[in-house]
Amino acid sequence: MMSIFKKNKTGKAENVAVKPTATDKVFNICVIVFLAFILIILVIPLWATLTLSFRPPSYLGSYVEGMVLPPWKWSFSAYEALLGNKGFLLAFKNSFLILVEGVCCALFLTIPMAYALSVKGLPGKKAITIFVLIPYLFNVGIVPVYLMIAKLKLTNHLFSVFAPVALSTYNMIIMRQFFEGIPNELRESAFIDGCNDLQIMFHIILPLSKAIIMTIGLYYGVAFWNDYMRPMLYLTKDYLRPLPILLRNILLAAGMNEFLETNAFGNAPIEAIKAASVFMSAIPMIIAYPFIQKYFTKGTLLGSVKG
C-alpha cells in the first residue's frame, strides 16, 4: 500500500491510502532486479580483491577458487608485511598529511570566495565570476604550473601537491549556490544588529551550511587522497612519496620482475600485497564516509539547485 496527500472538502491535506496497480508492481520488481544486478557487479570485484589480500603464500588454486576460500584458511601475511614496513607507513603518513592539510587549505579558500560571490550587490561580482571561470574553462596545462612551482622553490614540499588545485571552481560554484539559497533576511537582520560580513559568515552562514561543507570537503579529500600525477611531478625524494606512488612502484616492480620494492615486504605473495594495499589505502575514506553520508545527498542537491 502507498499513501499520498490529498485535499479534502475543507481544503486540508489528509493522508490517503492508494493500492498499487499491476504496473506499479512490475515497475518495482524491475527496479529491484536492476539494483540487485548493479550490486552484484560492484560486490564481486570487491570480494575478489578482499579474498586475494588474505590469500596464503602456499595457495596454488585459481582466482575463482580463491574467491570461495574459507576464512579459516586465510592468511594475514600481506597485512603484516605492509604494517611492518616503514616505507608503507611513511607513505601512508604522507598521504594523510596531504589529505588533512589539503582539505583545510581548500575549504579555507573556497568558503570565503563562495560566500563573497553569493552576496547580492557585491561590487564587481560579475567580473570576478568571469575571472574565476576563465581558468576553469581554459586549462593552461601541466607545464606552466610546474614551472611556477619550480620557480617558487616548492618542489619536494607536500604543499606543492594540493596548493595548485586548492580552489576548485566547480566546488566553489556548488557552495555559492547553497549560500544563495539561505534566506537573505537572515543577513539583513544581522546587519541591523550591527554584525559585519565576517561575523555573519562565521555565526550565521557556516552553522547553517554543515551539509555543503561536509560534501565539498569529501570531494576535496577524495581528490587529494587519490592524486597521483602531482606527487609524481613535484615530489622526487623517497621519504615524501605518498601511497599512490608507492603502489605504482610495487606494480612496476612486480610487472618487470624487479624485487627492489617487493622484497621489502617479506615473503607475502605480491598479488596479496597489491590487494591489501588497495584496502589499506581506502581506510580513511571508509572511515570518513559514514559520518559524512547523511550530509552528502542534502549538500549536493541543495548546492546544485538554487533554493
Q: At 49, list the grid cell.
A: 580483491
pLDDT at site 297: 58
Count of domains forming the chain: 2
Asked if residue 268 and residue 255 are part of one domain, the reply reads yes
Is the CB of residue 94 less than 8 Å from the CB of residue 242?
yes
Asked if residue 211 and residue 293 are part of one domain, the reply reads yes
pLDDT at site 260: 44
CATH assignment at residue 89: 1.10.3720.10
Asked if residue 181 and residue 33 are part of one domain, the reply reads no
Domain termination site, one of 76, 92, 118? 76
Asked if residue 122 and residue 26 are part of one domain, the reply reads no
Asked if residue 72 and residue 92 are part of one domain, the reply reads no
pLDDT at site 107: 93
Instruction: Please report, to the nearest 10 degrees, the dihedral formed by the alpha carbons of residues 186, 187, 188, 190 taken in order.
Output: 90
Domain termination site, one of 38, 54, 76? 76
The C-alpha atoms of residue 79 and residue 293 are separated, in whole angstroms, by 28
pLDDT at site 304: 46
The C-alpha atoms of residue 134 and residue 240 are separated, in whole angstroms, by 33
Is the CB of residue 163 less than 8 Å from the CB of residue 154?
yes
Residue 250 belongs to what domain range?
81-304
Asked if residue 255 and residue 139 are part of one domain, the reply reads yes
Domain termination site, one of 56, 76, 96? 76
Place of cell 591489501: 276
pLDDT at site 258: 46
**How many other C-beta atoms lie within 10 A of the C-beta of residue 26?**
11
Is the CB of residue 220 less than 8 Å from the CB of residue 168?
yes
Asked if residue 211 and residue 117 are part of one domain, the reply reads yes
Could you tell me how far CA 94 lies from the centroid of its own chain? 17
The C-alpha atoms of residue 248 and residue 241 are separated, in whole angstroms, by 11
Asked if residue 172 and residue 46 are part of one domain, the reply reads no
pLDDT at site 89: 84
Q: Please spell the DSSP secondary structure of 265-289, one letter per residue.
A: GTTS-HHHHHHHHHHHHTHHHHHHH
Asked if residue 102 and residue 45 are part of one domain, the reply reads no
Distances (CA, A) of 133 to 49, 106, 119: 41, 17, 18
Asked if residue 71 and residue 91 are part of one domain, the reply reads no
- H runs (alpha helix) in 54-206: 63-67, 77-83, 86-118, 125-137, 142-151, 159-162, 169-180, 184-192, 197-200
Asked if residue 227 and residue 86 are part of one domain, the reply reads yes
Write out the chain's pLDDT in tens, 307 residues.
555 545 555 555 555 566 777 787 888 899 999 999 999 998 888 888 888 888 887 777 676 777 777 777 888 888 887 777 778 888 888 999 999 999 999 999 999 999 888 888 788 888 888 888 888 888 777 888 888 888 888 888 888 888 888 888 888 988 888 888 888 888 888 888 888 888 888 888 888 888 888 888 888 988 898 888 888 889 888 888 888 888 777 767 655 554 444 455 566 677 787 788 788 777 777 777 777 766 665 555 554 444 4
Sign of CA dihedral 20, 24, 28, 33: positive
Burial class (CB in 10 A: 0-12, 13-18, 19+), 205: buried
The C-alpha atoms of residue 75 and residue 73 are separated, in whole angstroms, by 7
Stated pTM of the model: 0.76
pLDDT at site 180: 85
**List of residues 6+ apart from 79 with CB closer than 8 A:** 53, 276, 280
pLDDT at site 298: 57
Is the CB of residue 211 less than 8 Å from the CB of residue 302?
yes
Asked if residue 22 and residue 167 are part of one domain, the reply reads no
